[in-house]
Structure 1
């Protein structure tokens, strides 16, 4: 990377444990019972399909959120983080429920309220949070926080029963989705939580959101001579401001008109589009139908060790997200265009949109050249300088100390 470019660092476990444990000790005057971590994610393809009954193909990043946590003998909860909060938060488990918790507290404490609501013997706890998952970058910092807390609570209050196998982790992921939807008020699907809990290192995770089933897909970028460059546009990114929810609502209306539960159940997309008469619903549904086909093609190519051929589908995904789904922004469009002009095989926005990050599939060794080109384009447009990381398919969440 050039000296003027900002590279987003990933902490190793020792660094993350130190940061979270030191914050815990400084805040509460004692040592935690343990430290748990969960990763952010990048989605290779399959955007806005998790709540439409479709496929997605995320993989875990090496960037993780670390949670030092200790069990209490009462119903009180104390939370502190390095996420910019000035003072520790103190309240009860009831204070973490829908309509009561807000901001980062909803993501950190929401899983506790949901797990207790679902019958797990969750009590009070103290937690300290340290994270190197970029905030607001569309890399799922919220799910990393939720799932790290959920893993800690499961182990300390439930003997780690749920975190021990995929069936239990599926339940934990679902609880974290409830926390994000009901407590934080973000109408997201389940892709992010599944990626944080159910991936394996060196693999992407093919998620079928119809039944939450998954398949591990080997993702050997090195063998293909390729890299995934993540471009954090530093553009504002928020999912709870109504834009994300409005896209989901439009898809649900279209599905209802077509008499299916979710849009990806439609057998004849062309005929279905002809039956819809609301222009917005047509555009949203068309993205869902075409994105599902792109995911299928990418899976076939990756499974056949033809990773270098997925570029056109990455490009097509961005065009659909920008046009039919209208979730891109100027910064994302410039990042994608500049990366392609600099030689990327394909590029697209990733995550919920309205800011956040883009990904570019580049030749191994070309990361700096492509990043330089994107940074120069941002400067020409007067945007804030972007940040970059090279994504590697990493491990799921778990206890690290």
Structure 2
């Protein structure tokens, strides 16, 4: 295993443990997590692997095979820069429960695809530290630790969905998560049994200002909730009444969040009934809502979705935070070539770089890798 070989080369020792945590795709339930709502992600086969050993002097030595060079030595939280903030943030949140670590990171998540490499990195570090220090944390507590690191240390006001998916998902299943109670169930998502596939369409585009726009959407939701007198938009039960007293951006955000929560529940009902192909219409509706009400899509995502449906997909939508990244399409196996060709043609017509296509199989969450 190359992460172990790199660890030996960097630190002249064997790692105490090796863990792997996956990225995720969100089937449906976008921008609902920080509104105490419902989400339905699943883990993807790609992720982040970490070889790690504990230290006793409070120092963090850190190296990534995707950023080759000598190990970074971090002796204070202020020393973290760039991607290392996600790793150091987890250690910072644990405080005196750990005394540093030697770490080598290896990842195979497609860069920039919006498959949540940051959450995978947080979860794999939290899981490995939990193992070597005997912290006794549950997978959900590790997910919450990663979220806290991203919120409080990195400064990104994300919800819990990405970290929960990385920590809790099971093979062949999607994770139904109530982001308020943190109750969850793994829902069978056996695509091949129904002759279906979920195709990730990686646009290769990430527009600037995305992080600031994400924070703006969250602020819109919080101000709308205050205006409506509810703890979170998940508590809005009279949508028509709520929309009648709101204006502008707040009105649009509420429209999306409330209807998206209903779409999550509807998709779960269809999956339980074995009507996998029928969720396509709900994916389409989700994309339109994200485009028009939440305003987090992009031209590249819109074209990918429209071309996929035109090529024969049962449904498609942008996935992730938005402003670029990836779309997903629900496609019958025999229609996959036609969908790819349709999207490729639409991009070529506009002079855009050809997108990547990745078949998404629901995968296992964080787990220890045998040495």
TM-score normalised by L of structure 2: 0.96
How far, CA to CA, are the matches of 1:139 and 1:232 in structure 2?
A: 10
Q: Match of 1:49? A: 32
Structure 2 counterpart of 1:105: 84
Distance in 1 between the 2:108 and 2:314 partners? 28
Question: Which residue matches 1:331?
Answer: 300
Q: Is the 8 A contact 1:177 1:193 kept in 2?
A: yes
CA contact (8 A) 1:239 1:352 kept: no
Once residues 267 and 191 of structure 1 are traced to their aligned partners in structure 2, the CA distance between those partners, rounded to angstroms, is 23
Secondary structure of the 2:191 match is coil
Q: Output the CA distance in 2 between the equivalents of 1:372 and 1:66.
A: 34
Q: Report how far residue 202 of structure 1 moved.
A: 1.2
Structure 1 equivalent of residue 12 of structure 2: 29
Q: Give distance in 1, aligned partners of 2:308 and 2:250.
A: 31
Q: CA deviation at 1:216?
A: 1.2
Tell me how far apart the structure 1 counterparts of residues 149 and 163 of structure 2 sit (CA, whole Å): 11
Q: Within 2, Cα distance between the matches of 1:385 and 1:24? A: 36
User: 1:327 aligns to what SS in structure 2?
Assistant: coil
TM-fit CA distance, 1:361: 0.2
- In 2, the alpha carbon distance for the partners of 1:239 and 1:133 equals 23
Could you tell me how far 1:101 is from its partner in structure 2? 3.1
How far did 1:374 drift? 1.4
- SS of alignment partner, residue 103 of structure 1: coil
Q: Deviations over 1:39-81 (max 9, x none)?
A: 0111100000000111010011111210011111210001111
Which of residues 329, 337, 340 is equivalent to 2:309? Answer: 340
Structure 1 residue 389: Cα displacement: 1.0
Residue 240 of structure 1: how far off its partner (Å): 6.7
Distance 1:266 1:114 in 2: 33
CA contact (8 A) 1:136 1:238 kept: no
Compared CA separation, residues 30 and 138, structure 1 to 2 (3 A): same
TM alignment of 1:344-355, pairs within 5 A: 344-355=313-324
Distance, in Å, in 2 between the alignment partners of 1:114 and 1:239 is: 27
| Contact 2:225-2:233 within 8 A present in 1 as well | yes
Are 2:346 and 1:370 aligned?
A: no
Q: Provide the C-alpha distance between the structure 1 equivalents of 2:68 and 2:222, rounded to a whole number of angstroms.
A: 36
Q: Tell whether 2:168 aligns with 1:198.
A: yes
Q: Does 1:128 align with 2:101?
A: no
What CA distance in whole angstroms lies between the structure 2 residues aligned with 1:320 and 1:197?
A: 28
Compute the displacement of 1:387 (Å). 1.0
Residue 238 of structure 2 aligns with which residue?
268
> Which string of whole-angstrom CA distances, capped at 9 and with x for unpartnered residues, describes residues 245-274 of structure 1?
110010000001111111011111110111
Distance 1:128 1:373 in 2: 41
Equivalent in 180, 193, 201 of residue 150 of structure 2: 180
Residues 10-55 of structure 1, C-alpha deviation per residue, up to 9 Å, x if partnerless? xxxxxxxx12112222322322112100001111000000001110
CA shift at 1:300, angstroms?
0.9
How is 1:284-363 mapped onto 2 (pairs within 5 angstroms)?
284-363=253-332
In the other structure, the counterpart of 1:90 is: 73
State the match for 1:235 in structure 2: 205
Indicate if the aligned counterparts of 1:138 and 1:356 stay in contact, CA closer than 8 A. yes
Superposed displacement of residue 186, structure 1: 1.2
* Matching residue of 2:64: 81
Q: Which residue does the alignment assign to 1:13? A: none
- Asked if the contact 1:58/1:204 (under 8 Å) is kept, the reply is yes
Kindly indicate whether residue 55 of structure 2 is the aligned counterpart of residue 72 of structure 1: yes
User: Compared with structure 1, are the counterparts of its residues 187 and 170 closer, same or farther at alpha carbon in structure 2 (3 Å cutoff)?
Assistant: same
> Structure 2 CA distance, aligned partners of 1:109 and 1:369?
45
Q: How many residues align?
A: 370
Note the residue ranges of structure 2 that are not aligned, 5 or more in a row: none
Contact 2:48–2:121 (8 Å) recurs in 1:
yes
* SS in structure 2 at match of 1:394: coil
Q: Which has the higher strand share?
A: 2
Report the alpha carbon displacement of residue 372 of structure 1 after superposing the two structures with TM: 2.6
Alignment RMSD: 1.6
Shift of 1:385: 2.1
In the TM superposition, residue 241 of structure 1 has moved relative to its aligned partner by 2.9
